[in-house]
């Protein structure tokens, strides 16, 4: 369905621990807030077999994975999807994950990014340098599968664990390096993204504020010798669309009743570090309460019509957060929603959207039925995939499946 | 096809390094001897979607994987296959793998097994103890997915890396612990298998010698408080079957021409540590040459009809090894092959076979066409899967998908 509707990709978040800031781990478990969480990389093979163009963005951690095993994993996935795999690079932030992987304390934030840089250097060597393009000839006449002189042991020292390394276990895949996604909002995160990322998930509820991030990222890209077109900016958005604005609003209001308040408070605690358990459900959060909540209320009030008179109790805040996430919203008929999206493109300078869903089935069927015809009419809906690989479909610059010039994965950086 | 033909499972070997004893790594690469090697665990999802009963035996290393990530991996695979996954536990023996994972030298053999024991202890705690059976209720009325009081943090200290740990990230799967396979031939390996393995791949070319291993393993099982029926003994076998003995022999002779001598010498070097590059292709290995080769020739001559007059040049030895592997052989019509298999069951006491193939398509189609009717006639072919899980189908004792009493994964060992 997503494939037929020309979606670019599916994105899968991942965590390696459990949310335990709010009320211990009870609320996360009872509400199934990212726990249990299966390893989705093991399901991509089946999803790839059922689709032809849809890409798969997978989250993997540079703090808890091994670079040799990770290079093999993504090379395998890139082969079996024919180039339709992306890696959302994270450094992992949950204390419970650190404990599960044998650390007393998490690695400190900026040091995690330093480790991530070196991790990527090793992964690039394995994926881009260890096998030359014409290493595999699979020639029955000479009975030669791989030409040994075209496969090179990589040597790396400096990484605190990995001192030396053989070639990647897997021959070159369509993209070699998976399409690289990142969502760093901190200074270290942005610097990292400007070096490595090819698409960036942007935070923010107000287009003009998000534009500041986009502009600063473009400046960083130029500093790094990368073209602006080598990075795609993606805004999160929550959409409820129906035939009329009223029907869409009613659908949204209806969804609120299904919100799991405890689970949402648990997720919010994990993201923000703010424990809401001290407040009653009826606590009025307008103009008081935790700063993280204040800023959400302010943007909801400023950007969503009809919310000015609303009483922002803790209950209502959690309900809205549960349904729409901490994302900009577009609720209304196709024109209303398309206008909001257009405003994000125009004012924030984003290239596309990561659409979160409220129900499945439900959200995506609604999008295809109601919104797609309007986007098509406006000429902004992708009608044809630009290529077979995730990189071609996201960058749409006709430059093929491999990393672009100036990207550190390019082997010109390691001659 | 394998599913329809009532095969119990498919087994996937794996290595994390490259064979480099014979002539460096050139021969392994040119002959594609287990390099490149994709990560097959990433393909099980697609294979499971295309089958209903076939099980998947995957190789994973206790030396180079992380127990927390591995528990998540197998729990995920057990969910998406509905209990059809097995773990062939290896400790990894290639120096090149050690180097790729950041070690100067391999961990010493017996120490690897000590590490493996502790690795499994952690994995059992995660898979068997951290979630109670009735933890997940997914109850819409109470909006409770998991009952927090039924999920337990596991604590482990002693393992050189892992000091402490949260619960598994994945809720209980049909088997919880994957069906455990092992192929340890050393003393440490056998002790390990007698503790953990539920099926064992047996070495040996002579049934009577293999029986000694089976008997010694059964004694070890009893010592460990495990029933003899809680372990299945599996012999490797290479089969060429056709309408007549002559046709099968001719098919085998025809296959020899496709042998890659360099690649086989490379694989043999990796297994045995013996470098054959010092010998010419015409070197006569009968009664001289490396001991590892001698013992193969002796068993081939003793057990395979029509080989008594053969000149065992290095070329011929490598050709035969390339085609049949270091396995017992059964070459002939259905009666001949069934008789040889029956002899292994009677004299060695094995429960089943791991059949290696020469070509695909080819070998398995031949088996189903020619051999299956004869095995069915003798009443020794499985006609119906015993259950939905790998454990039920291998143990066939009506005791369900979970580990058997007396197995260290059973939580009675960790009260």
Asked if residue B143 belongs to a domain, the reply is no
Q: Does the pLDDT value for residue A298 go beyond 90?
A: no
Shortest Cα distance, chain A CAs vs residue B163, angstroms: 5
Closest Cβ opposite residue A39 in set B31, B76, B164 = B76
Q: What is the pLDDT of residue B114?
A: 87
If one counts every other C-beta atom within 10 angstroms of the C-beta of residue B205, the result is: 20
> Angle at CA B138, nearest 5°, toward B136 and B144?
90
CB pairs under 8 A between A and B: 179
What residue ranges in A304-401 does DSSP mark as E strands? 329-332, 352-356
**Three-state secondary-structure class, residue B234:** strand
Contact A101, A64 (CB under 8 A): yes
pLDDT at B23 over 80: no
Residue B225: which domain range?
A: 9-131+157-236+384-408
**What percent of chain B is modeled with pLDDT above 90?**
58
* Residue A161 confidence (pLDDT) above 60: no
**Residue B77 is assigned to a structural domain of this protein:** yes
Helix (H, G, I), strand (E, B) or coil at A260: coil
- Whether the pLDDT of residue A271 is over 70: the answer is yes
Residues of A in contact with B65 (CB under 8 A): 69
CATH number, domain at A57? 3.20.20.30
pLDDT at residue A162 is higher than 60: no
Residue B55 lies in a domain: yes
Closest-CA distance, B133 to chain A, in angstroms, reads 14
**Does B157 have pLDDT greater than 80?**
no
Contact (CB<8Å) A37/B144: no
Same domain? B126 vs B266 = no
Mean pLDDT of B359-375: 95
Cα A172 to the center of its chain, rounded Å: 24
Average pLDDT, chain B: 89
Q: Which residues of B touch A70 (CB under 8 A)?
A: none
Query: Distance between CA atoms of B70 and B82, rounded to whole angstroms?
Result: 18
Helix, coil or strand: residue A9: strand
Q: How far, in Å, CA of A274 to CA of A293, rounded?
A: 9
The pLDDT value given to residue A176: 97
Q: How many CB atoms lie within 10 A of CB A105?
A: 8
How far apart, in Å, are the Cα atoms of B354 and each of A15, B41, B238, B350?
38, 19, 9, 11
With a cut of 90, say whether residue A297 has pLDDT above it.
no
Beta strands in A227-332 (DSSP E): 232-241, 329-332
Q: Is the pLDDT of residue B298 over 90?
A: no
B44–A76 C-beta distance less than 8 A: no
Q: Quick one: A268 and A318 in the same domain?
A: yes
Model confidence at B412: pLDDT above 70: no
- Interchain contact, A147 vs B30, CB within 8 Å: yes
Residue A134 corresponds to which tokens in the numbers above?
A: 């014409």
Mean pLDDT to the nearest integer, A269-281: 83
Cβ-Cβ contacts under 8 Å, B159 against chain A: 102
Q: What is the pLDDT of residues B265-287, one digit of tens each?
A: 888 887 788 888 888 888 888 87
Taking a C-beta distance cutoff of 8 angstroms, is the pair B87, B127 a contact? no
Q: How far apart are CA B69 and CA B67, in angstroms?
A: 6
Residue B56 predicted with pLDDT over 90: yes
Alpha carbon B264 to its chain's center: 20
Q: How would DSSP label each residue in B184-212? A: --SHHHHHHHHHH-SEEEE--SSHHHHHH
Evaluate if residue B2 carries a pLDDT over 90: no
Contacts of A30 in chain B (CB under 8 A): 143-148
Task: Identify the residue with better confidence: A159 or A25.
Answer: A25
How close A27 comes to chain B (CA, Å)?
8
pLDDT, average across residues B6-19: 87
B278, B226: one domain = no
Would you say residue A2 lies in a domain?
Answer: no
Strand partners, B131: B151
Q: Does the pLDDT value for residue A252 go beyond 70?
A: yes
Check residues B329 and A21 and name the one with the higher pLDDT: B329
In a domain, residue A137? The reply is no
pLDDT score for B198: 98
The better pLDDT of the pair A307, B190 is held by B190
Nearest CA-CA distance, residue B143 and chain A, Å: 7
For residue B294 the two structure tokens come to 């001698």
Beta strands (DSSP E) in B342-403 are: 352-356
Residues on chain B touching A132 (C-beta within 8 angstroms): none
Rounded average pLDDT over B157-184: 84
Category of B321 on φ-ψ map: left (φ > 0), alpha (ψ -120 to 50) or beta: alpha
pLDDT for the residue numbered A127: 96
Pairwise CA distance, residues A218 & A350, whole Å: 12
Q: CA B191 from chain center: how many Å?
A: 17
Query: Which residue in the set A42, A73, A166 is minimally distant from B96, CB to CB?
Result: A166
Residue B76 and residue A42: Cβ atoms within 8 Å?
Answer: yes
- The CA distances from residue A215 to A210, A233, B170, in Å, are 9, 11, 41
* Partners of residue A48 in chain B, C-beta under 8 Å: 46
What share of chain B in percent tops pLDDT 70?
Answer: 94
SS3 content of chain B, % helix, strand, coil (to 5): 45, 15, 45
Confidence band of A100 (pLDDT split at 50, 70, 90): confident
Same domain as B187, residue B111: yes
Q: Where residue B1 falls among pLDDT bands split at 50, 70, 90?
A: confident
Distance CA A38, CA B173 (A): 11
Number of structural domains, chain B?
Answer: 2
Stretch A260-282: mean pLDDT, rounded?
A: 84
State the Cα–Cα distance between residues B200 and B233, nearest whole angstrom: 5
Measured between CB atoms, which of B36, B47, B162 is closest to A170? B36
Q: Kindly report, residue by residue over A363-407, the tens digit of the pLDDT.
A: 999 999 999 999 999 999 988 899 999 999 999 999 999 999 889
Report d(CA A182, CA B90) in Å as an integer. Answer: 35
Residue B384 CB: number of other CB atoms within 10 A?
6
Query: For the ranges A168-177, B207-216, B383-392, B406-415, which has the lowest average pLDDT?
Result: B406-415
The position carrying tokens 């202890």 is: B121
Contact A159 B29 (CB under 8 A): no
**Polymer length in residues for chain B:** 415
DSSP lists the bridge partners of residue B264 as: none
Whole-number pLDDT of residue A21: 64
Confidence of residue A45 (pLDDT cuts 50, 70, 90): very high
In eight-state DSSP terms, residue B125 is: I
Q: Is B17 exposed, middle or buried (0-12, 13-18, 19+ CB in 10 A)?
A: buried
Claim to verify: residue A177 and residue A71 sit in the same structural domain = yes
Q: Is residue A21 part of a domain?
A: yes
Query: Which residues is A329 bridged to in the sheet?
Result: A238
> Per residue in A72-81, pLDDT tens?
999 999 999 9
Mean pLDDT of A251-272: 86
β-bridge mates for residue B284, sequence order: B313
Does any domain span residue B149? no
- The beta-carbon neighbor of A42 closest among B41, B143, B164 is B41
State whether A76 and B166 contact (CB < 8 Å). Answer: no
Q: Of the candidates B36, B41, B99, which has its C-beta nearest A165's C-beta?
A: B99
Other beta carbons within 10 angstroms of residue B123's beta carbon come to 25
Instruction: Answer whether B148 sits within 8 Å of A96, measured CB to CB.
Output: no
Using CA atoms, how far residue A179 sits from A17, A83, A86, A220, B132, in Å, is: 25, 9, 4, 19, 39
Are residues B280 and B315 both part of a single domain? yes
Global pTM value: 0.93
pLDDT tens profile A108-125: 888 888 889 989 999 999
Round to whole Å and give the CA distance between B33 and B24: 13
The pLDDT value given to residue B414: 62
Statement: residue B207 has pLDDT above 70: yes
Alpha carbon of B221: minimum distance to chain A alpha carbons (Å): 33
Say if residue B103 is exposed, middle or buried (CB neighbours under 10 Å; 0-12, 13-18, 19+). Answer: middle
- Structure tokens, A113: 């990014």
Given a cut of 80, whether residue A164 has pLDDT beyond it is no
What does the DSSP assignment read for B7-32? --EEEE---SS---TTTTTHHHHHTT
Q: Calculate how close chain A gets to B85, using CA atoms only, in Å.
A: 13
Cβ density class A345-382: b for 16+ within 10 Å, e for less: beebbbbbbbbbebeeeebbebbbebbbebbeeeeeee
The pair of structure tokens assigned to A193 is 């993204």
Give the pLDDT score at A327: 86
- For B63-110, the pLDDT digits (tens) are 888 899 999 999 999 999 999 999 999 987 777 777 777 676 777 888
Q: How far apart are alpha carbons A38 and A13 in whole angstroms?
A: 11
Q: What is the pLDDT of residue A48?
A: 96
State whether A170 and B31 contact (CB < 8 Å). Answer: no
- Return d(Cα A317, Cα A306) in angstroms, integer: 15
Q: How far is A213 from chain B (nearest CA, A)?
A: 34
Q: Which two tokens stand for residue A239?
A: 């959409």
Residue A192 and residue A110 share a domain: yes
Contact A260 B143 (CB under 8 A): yes
Whether residue B186 is found in the same domain as residue B329: no
Per CB-CB distance under 8 Å, the chain B contacts of A105 are none
| Predicted confidence band of residue B164 (pLDDT cuts 50, 70, 90) | low
- pLDDT at site B89: 96
> Do you know the residue count of chain A?
415
Task: Return the structure tokens found at A302.
Answer: 């400023």
Lowest mean pLDDT segment, chosen from A54-58, B142-146, B157-161: B157-161
Contact A69, A161 (CB under 8 A): no
Q: Are residues A190 and A312 in the same domain?
A: no
The residue ranking higher by pLDDT, B87 or B158, is B87
- For residue B137 the two structure tokens come to 């209720």
Contact A259, A324 (CB under 8 A): no
* ipTM for the whole complex: 0.92
Q: B162 to chain A nearest CA, in Å?
A: 4
Of A24, A32, A161, the CB nearest to B145: A32
End-to-end CA separation in angstroms for chain A: 44
Instruction: Tell me which of A38, A74, A115, A154 to substitute to probe the interface with B (most B C-beta atoms closer than 10 Å).
Output: A38
Summarised one tens digit per residue, pLDDT across range A167-220 is 899 999 999 999 999 997 788 889 999 999 999 999 888 899 999 999 999 999
Same domain, B50 and B174: yes
Res. B162: pLDDT tops 70: no
Give the model's pLDDT for residue A293: 83
Instruction: Specify if A414 maps to a domain.
Output: no
Same domain, B395 and B297: no
Confidence of residue B351 (pLDDT cuts 50, 70, 90): very high
Q: Closest Cα partner for B291 from B267, B272, B309?
A: B272
Which of A161, A18, A155, A21 is CA-nearest to residue A98?
A: A18
Task: Report the C-alpha dihedral over residues B135, B141, B142, B143, rounded to 10 degrees.
Answer: 80
Task: Tell whether the model's pLDDT for residue A414 goes beyond 80.
Answer: no
Predicted confidence band of residue B303 (pLDDT cuts 50, 70, 90): low
- State the average pLDDT over residues B189-216: 94
B171 phi and psi, to 5 degrees? -70, 165
Of residues A107, A124, A123, the one with CA closest to residue A188? A107
Facing A42 at nearest CB: one of B44, B145, B161: B44
CB contact under 8 A, A169 and B260: no
pLDDT of residue B3: 87
pLDDT score, position A343: 96
A246 & A344 share domain: yes
């Amino acid at each position: 369905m997503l494939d037929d509707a020309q979606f670019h990709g599916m994105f899968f978040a991942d965590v390696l621990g459990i949310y335990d800031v709010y009320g211990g781990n009870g609320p996360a478990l009872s509400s199934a807030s990212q726990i249990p969480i299966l390893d989705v990389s093991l399901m991509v093979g089946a999803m790839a077999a059922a689709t032809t163009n849809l890409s798969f963005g997978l989250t993997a951690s540079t703090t808890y994975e091994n670079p040799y095993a990770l290079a093999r994993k993504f090379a395998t996935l890139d082969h079996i999807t024919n180039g339709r795999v992306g890696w959302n690079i994270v450094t992992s932030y949950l204390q419970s994950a650190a404990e599960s992987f044998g650390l007393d304390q998490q690695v400190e934030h900026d040091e995690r990014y330093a480790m991530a840089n070196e991790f990527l250097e090793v992964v690039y060597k394995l994926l881009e340098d260890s096998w030359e393009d014409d290493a595999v000839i699979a020639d029955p006449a000479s009975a030669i599968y791989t030409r040994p002189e075209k496969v090179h042991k990589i040597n790396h020292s400096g990484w605190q664990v990995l001192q030396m390394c053989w070639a990647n276990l897997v021959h070159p895949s369509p993209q070699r390096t998976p399409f690289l996604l990142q969502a760093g909002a901190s200074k270290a995160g942005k610097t990292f993204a400007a070096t490595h990322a090819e698409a960036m998930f942007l935070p923010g509820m107000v287009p003009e504020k998000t534009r500041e991030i986009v502009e600063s990222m473009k400046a960083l890209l130029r500093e790094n010798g990368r073209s602006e077109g080598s990075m795609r900016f993606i805004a999160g958005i929550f959409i409820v669309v129906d035939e009329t604005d009223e029907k869409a609003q009613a659908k949204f209001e209806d969804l609120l009743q299904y919100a799991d308040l405890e689970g949402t408070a648990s997720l919010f605690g994990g993201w923000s570090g703010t424990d809401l358990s001290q407040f009653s459900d009826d606590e009025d959060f307008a103009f008081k309460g935790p700063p993280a909540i204040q800023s959400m209320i302010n943007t909801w009030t400023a950007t969503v019509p009809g919310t000015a008179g609303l009483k922002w109790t803790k209950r209502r805040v959690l309900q809205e957060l549960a349904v729409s996430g901490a994302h900009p919203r577009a609720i209304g008929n196709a024109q209303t929603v398309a206008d909001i999206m257009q405003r994000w493109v125009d004012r924030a300078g984003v290239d596309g959207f990561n659409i979160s869903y409220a129900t499945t089935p439900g959200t995506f069927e609604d999008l295809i039925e109601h919104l797609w015809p309007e986007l098509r009419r406006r000429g902004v809906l992708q009608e044809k995939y630009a290529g077979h690989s995730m990189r071609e479909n996201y960058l749409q610059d006709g430059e093929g499946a491999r990393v672009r010039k100036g990207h550190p994965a390019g082997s010109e950086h390691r001659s």
